[in-house]
Chain A
Amino acid sequence: MDLLVAVLAPLAVAPLMPLVRRFAGRHVGDVAAAIPLAIAVYFARYVGTLGDGQSVAFRRAWVPEIGLSLSLRLDGLSLLFVLLISGIGALVCVYAGGYLAGNRRLGSFFGSLLAFMTAMLGIVLAENLLTLYVFWEFTTLTSFLLISFEHERQAARAAAMQALLTTAAGGLCLLAGVILLGLIGGSFEITELIERGDAVRAHRLYPAAVILILLGAFTKSAQFPFHYWLPNAMAAPTPVSAYLHSATMVKAGVYLLARLSPLLGGTDLWTVTVTGVGAVTMVVGTVLAFTSYDMKGILAYLTINVLGTLTMLIGLGTELAAEAAMIYLLAHALYKGALFLVTGAVDHAAHSRDLRELSGLRHRMPLTALIAALAALSMAGVVPFFGFLAKESYLHAVVEAPRMWPLLTFAAVVASVLVVAGAGLVAVAPFFGTLSEKADRAHEAGFRLWFVPALLAVAGLAAGLLPQTLAAPLVEPAVAAIVGEPVPLELKLWHGVTLPLVLSVIALAAGVALYVSHERVRSVFDGTRVLGGWGPAAWYDKGVTLLDVVAHWQTGFLQSGFLRTYVTVILAMTAGLAGLMITHFGLTFVERETIGVRWHEGIAAGLIVAAAFVAVRSTSRMRAVVALTIVGFGVSWIFVLFGGPDLAMTQIVVETLTTLLFVFAFYRLPKFSILSDRATRFRDAVLASSVGIVMTLLILLATGVDQYEPTSEYYVRSSVTEAHGRNIVNVILVDFRALDTLGEITVLSAAAVGVFVMVRLVAPKGGRS
């Protein structure tokens, strides 16, 4: 129950935020931060208690019919994520209060942010895969709102749409995969599925389920080739980028992979795909970072690199890799969060994030420069920052990878070199060198804008200095949850001279060298921009254009505004589907007593058919009306012959009135003329005939169906005893079904009023009545 309250608390408070803004004014961010802070404090008490793979669970049936239960479970992996989400969430709230101070829609901003928090907490605490999916899509929706916060700008709307379409498409794949998994394993509860892991992995639908789920995780975590949406999502306000697109939401995919790796991992399909895609993303992210001059853009590409690395590590599936993934995850959240927020401060102060316009900022923003340097050192993997530990542990995991290690190691080192240089781009280039014009006008950011990133950066340093005390209690239970057994973890800075250390030093040295000559490197990497024309982003654009074209064509075709198009489509569907069912099930007429045809009955039937065709073929209006009348009287004759005198009488009266109406109206209307060409008439005739044939067949089938006790027995029995009437048809109409008849009378009165208005109220010339 506590878990559920914790998950829903931010959402419950979210609608109140506009009100809070009114009363709290400038402090709205601080007030909003209280909720995630409370959650963080609450969950902090579990630190150190979940190391042996224990968990806290909550379960309540939601829609038991489809196996959907609201079940939550807190284990080591969830705890690490919960603390990241709530801890960084609280910091981001405080920061955003300063960053967006004075914004009119600050209240709704915090509302969306808190709603997002609920979604994110739901994902990492969900025990039921369907519950997880619900929260998963909720993050997609709330992130749409947050990216498009400045919706006056076209770029923000387009980016929000792109992120929505990409991740929602992936989300649908995930849903399909989850359902498949549920069908294979017979449950949607993750722990139950893991118990049946061997059976699941041996199932023939396992590959389909894996690929669908991976598509969901890869789109969410911006893996190649779905990485394109993440840099564009930087159109969001910087606190959102720091929170969603670096620390939390994009890691949901990584979380899902880690969560499901005990269930789905270990197979060739899983290992090769996840490791391969992760490794490619890792390299692509760093290379693309050098094509951008936007500080946030560079950070976004470097985040893609990290997401790739994490994915690769989880794909490897070894204990070392799981350890490295969790350490790196934590380190990245600390330094990248700080760097994003620093970028926000720069943007706020200098009104630019463009590296070509910024240099020498340290003269104007010394504090911010210091924080950026601290965070960047951690990112580059310099001793004694926590990033150093992270880099060393993942190089260690890659070097000892069970397969493909030379290739993966090479990729990891190349990426590391580029990351070091990238750290220089965002933390050295804007702050050092001669003071640029834009930078000259900058000033140190407000308290919130430097204090929050400073906390994160210092945390990165502290965790590096005291890893066993500060980081191990968080990382160890998370690794235990992934691996499935307690893993004793010893974090320390100095392991002696090992291969990972050598590689780490090489990467650092090469990275520094690369940064020094980054102007030249850029010109090389700029060449890759040409590839953009064929890249996944271009495919996305083409896809959206195609969707528009198809939608336009389809709407134009289906919603033409011409009655006959609608009729045609409806008829084609009816005839097609019903015909399909008939051919599928075959024509099995139940043998039953049919009554023969007497000669006068045959005449009546023949007359109706003949008159109907005359009405169609006739070129004279009057002849058509007469033929129609004959049809009507023919039908009433049939009613008379088969025990329906009431029907016949009504039909005759109505038919007479109808004929009068037709004559009255047609007399004053244009003559019949043939308006459509031969081919159209032929097509319509074929279509109409096929529907007619289907109707005939359906009646023949329907008369043979006898599934339920006929209800009319009841009316017949109760007619005299209950309703005291002897004409059963009338009794049904005015007694048993009196309300229906009342409705019918109402319809008739409405029609009568309509007819009167249209015939008698003539609008005066000029068009107004």
Chain B
Amino acid sequence: MEILLAIVVGCLVATGLYMMMRRSMLKLAIGLSLLSHGANLLIFTAGGLTRGQPPLIPQGETLPPAPYADPLPQALILTAIVISFGLLAFTIALIYRACHVTGTDDLDQLTTTET
């Protein structure tokens, strides 16, 4: 499963980066989203996979029943998901505004700061 997920991450990174190299700003946003999915899965896979048990501690115990998933990568990913959402929302708003003002979504047309 690790190998399969590693390949999935590779595909997400590759597609994300490919989209980021397009001239269209819309594709840039899509690429950004794909890349962040890739990054999240990367941390998840590299942290080690455990099937089933979430890291929750039942009432009356002080340790979760083994085997449980590693909580630390999950905490990192949770932060990453939220931050990348913030980034994406900002990017989309920026693109929306830029297209509105300049009338194009071609990055190559944006060569000046004047409109």
Chain A residues within 8 Å of B, Cβ to Cβ: 561-564, 567-568, 571, 594-597, 601-602, 605, 608-609, 612-613, 615-616, 621, 624-625, 628, 631-632, 635, 638-639, 641-647, 650-651, 654, 657-658, 661-662, 665-666, 668-670, 672-673, 675-676, 684-685, 687-689, 691-693, 695-697, 699-700, 702-703, 710-712, 715-717, 719-721, 726-729, 732-733, 737, 740-741, 744, 747-748, 750-752, 754-755, 758-759, 763, 767
Contacts and interface: CB of A to CB of B under 8 A. Distances in A.
A638 B82 contact: no
Contact of B21 (A564, A717, A741, A751): A564
A658 B33 contact: yes
Contacts of A571: 17
A726 B59 contact: yes
A615 B34 contact: yes
Q: Give me the 5 closest cross-chain CB pairs, A-B, nearest first.
A: A643-B69, A692-B14, A696-B10, A751-B86, A688-B18
B11 A612 contact: yes
B68 to A, nearest CB: 7
B56 to A, nearest CB: 6
Contact of B92 (A562, A661, A688, A696): A661
Interface in B48-62: 48-59, 61-62
B21 A684 contact: yes
Interface in B76-106: 77-79, 81-83, 85-90, 92-97, 99-101, 104-106
Task: Classify the interface of chain A: helix, strand, loop or mixed.
Answer: helix
A651 B30 CA distance: 16
Given A609-B8, A695-B38, A699-B42, A744 B13 contact: no
Contacts of B41: 635, 638
A428 to B, nearest CB: 66
A563 to B, nearest CB: 6
Interface residues of B, number: 90
Interface of B: 1-24, 26-30, 33-34, 37-38, 40-42, 44-46, 48-59, 61-64, 68-72, 74-75, 77-79, 81-83, 85-90, 92-97, 99-101, 104-108, 111, 115
Contacts of B24: 672-673, 675
B82 A643 contact: no
Given A643-B50, A727-B56, A650 B78 contact: yes
Contacts of B37: 608, 631-632, 635
Nearest to A651: B81
A732 B45 CA distance: 19
Contacts of B107: 562-564
Contacts of B28: 563
B15 A613 contact: yes
A605 B8 contact: yes
A251 B34 CA distance: 64
Contact of B78 (A733, A755, A759): A733
Contact of A716 (B12, B18, B71): B71
Given A635-B37, A741-B79, A715 B72 contact: yes
Contacts of B14: 688-689, 691-693, 695
Given A608-B8, A716-B55, A759-B93, A703 B83 contact: no
Nearest to A689: B14
Contact of B12 (A563, A608, A670, A687): A608
7 contacts: A605-B7, A609-B8, A635-B41, A642-B49, A675-B108, A699-B5, A721-B62
Given A594-B1, A612-B11, A715-B71, A567 B17 contact: yes
B6 A700 contact: yes
Nearest to A668: B96
A241 to B, nearest CB: 48
Contacts of A595: 1-2, 49, 51
Given A628-B30, A644-B69, A696-B9, A751 B54 contact: no
Most chain A beta-carbon neighbours within 10 Å: one of B54, B58, B106: B54
Contacts of B19: 615-616
